[in-house]
Amino acid sequence: MHSYARVNMESTLFFVLGILRFSLATENFHWGYHGDSGPSYWSQHFESCAGKWQSPIDIPREEDVEYAGHLGFVESYGYDDVRVHTLKNNGHSLQVDVSGDSYILGGGLPGLYKVTQLHFHWGRTSDRGSEHTFDGTAFPMEMHVVHYKKEYGSINEALNKSDGLAVLGFMFKVIPFDNVFYEKFLKKLSAVQYSGESTDTWPMRLTDILPNSWQNLKYFRYNGSLTTPPCTEAVIWTVFTRPIYISEKQLRQFRKLYSNEKSSETYEHISDNYRPVQPLNNRRVLKNVRFQLL
């Protein structure tokens, strides 16, 4: 065999072995929020996590955000009658999977978006926890209501499109008394204390756990990504300014959830399950109204 052919074959072999090692490393990588599985390592295993349109972001001072009168307000259909959903601990967050015909439209969205799930991000203490921040200010928890564009048929197909997902972001603010609308919801958490556990819930109205008249509220809009791996840049973000109110006692119930399965030898609570803010990279951040009281 000629030497150049042997060198070429060896180079090809090393390249293939390198790809295999990378694939196996990514396959065996269990992402999380701390240590060598945390956000600073995600891009080594998920290429999109190093993209230019990543989320979350720090939303600038309101006077620095561009007003876009064409956005208007977000409309909802079926939020008052979500028939079937499942509450589960996925090891990273508390997630509610939704079935039924519930949609959002309007608000400058390019089509009809079907709700599929909602989940929460929170901090170990109440001085942090939200993924988005407002001019550097964090909140103790943030809820994401995830929708996919109906015309794409499924969330998996929608992830391949730049306008595939529409996520509503809601901040939480601590008050001295309980939020009565969350009490029934939180009583179910004892059934999902450990990773992998799930339970069926009642036909909850999504509007019960959102701010009053949320469709008529001010929001910020920008194009971004999933805030967890694979960090796909397919999300139209709508981040509302008015918070949801919750007590410290109610927040502690989220912090009691474990990231481990019940059969594990050691246990660790889900805590600080938020991705740090990402560079804006010259993206436009818009707001739908000029002025509005909280």
- Of the residues 2, 92, 132, 147, only one is catalytic, namely 92
Instruction: Give pLDDT, residue 203.
Output: 67
**Domains along the chain?**
51-287 (3.10.200.10)
Instruction: Give pLDDT, residue 237.
Output: 98
Active site residue 30: no
pLDDT tens sequence across 15-61? 333 433 434 344 578 999 999 999 999 999 999 999 999 999 999 99
Instruction: Give pLDDT, residue 85.
Output: 75
Q: Give 267's contacts (C-beta < 8 A, 6+ positions apart).
A: 258, 260
The string of DSSP letters for 108-149 reads T-SS-EEEEEEEEEE-SSTT---SSEETTB--SEEEEEEEEE
**Cα 180 to Cα 226: distance, rounded to the nearest angstrom:** 31
Instruction: Give pLDDT, residue 83.
Output: 60
Instruction: Give pLDDT, residue 81.
Output: 72
pLDDT tens sequence across 161-192? 999 999 999 999 999 999 998 988 898 899 99
**Cα 189 to Cα 253: distance, rounded to the nearest angstrom:** 8
Please provide the average confidence, as pLDDT, over all residues in the chain: 88
Q: Which residues of the chain have pLDDT under 70?
A: 1-27, 82-84, 202-203, 291-294
For residues 104 and 168, the answer to whether their CB atoms sit within 8 Å is yes
Instruction: Give pLDDT, residue 209.
Output: 84
